[in-house]
Amino acid sequence: MKIALIGYGKMGKTIERLAIARGHEITEKFSQAHPFLEATSVNAEIAIEFTEPNLVKSHIEHCCKLNLPVVVGTTAWYANFEEIKQTVLNHNASLFYATNFSLGVNLYFEANKYLAKLMGNYSQYSCSIEEIHHTEKKDAPSGTAITTAEGIIENHGGYNSWDLSPLSDQNIQINALRLPNVPGTHHVFYESDIDKITLSHEAKSRDGFALGSIVAAEWLLSKKGVFTMKDLLKFDN
């Protein structure tokens, strides 16, 4: 599979290493010095995009124009999702997006939903979320933390929103910390006066995220439409 990398920072380099190890070829590397939006053609079968939230919309639109399927790992662009989804469908194009491509994190998401259903029966427990990432991460809270909060809101019954500084008992507090050289850690806490229950995922490196995006690209190659990790992992089946 010929892959174009849109974004060639630490994640892009990790994807390159793992993709080559799986027998794929990196044919294009786009960066600030070599902008993707200036490309009139791309020698690739699929693109993997890890850049910045403000660039995602234009990158996906350009992929549609070039008939280039794209896997998007950048987060915090979802305010434009419905518009972008319609653009992809109108072009009969292919988009795979996720707040996190790690298999372990997606198992954590499913465990979080199940735990939220259980804990909805016990009002003595209050829920909060903590996420820790490297200091270079620009969005806070992380997309993974937001997805975690949304899973709780959909399944618990006692919460209707999340916030970095909650205004009521119906808000889930997300505490977003930024520390040097941290791949990513997420905790869900349920705490009462007598005990505390914790659900956690701790990444040891970027490899899990990078590998997940490559597997997503392999899966997306022959498909048209808009897809997520639920489609790939078939958790709902």
Nearest to 68 by CA among 102, 96, 108: 96
Amino acid at 58: S
Two tokens, residue 200: 């956690």
Q: What angle do CA 120, 123, 124 make, to 5 degrees?
A: 135
Residue burial 76-92, b: 16+ Cβ < 10 Å; e: rest:
bbeeeeeebeebbeebe
Check if 133 is active-site.
Answer: yes
Active site residue: 57, 91, 113, 137, which one? 137
Active site residue: 59, 133, 156, 201, which one? 133
Cα–Cα distances in angstroms (integers) from residue 12 to residues 75, 107, 213, 220, in the given order: 15, 24, 11, 19
Distance CA 185, CA 182 (A): 8
- Specify whether the CB–CB gap between 10 and 226 falls below 8 A: no
Check if 91 is active-site.
Answer: no
What positions carry a catalytic annotation? 133, 137
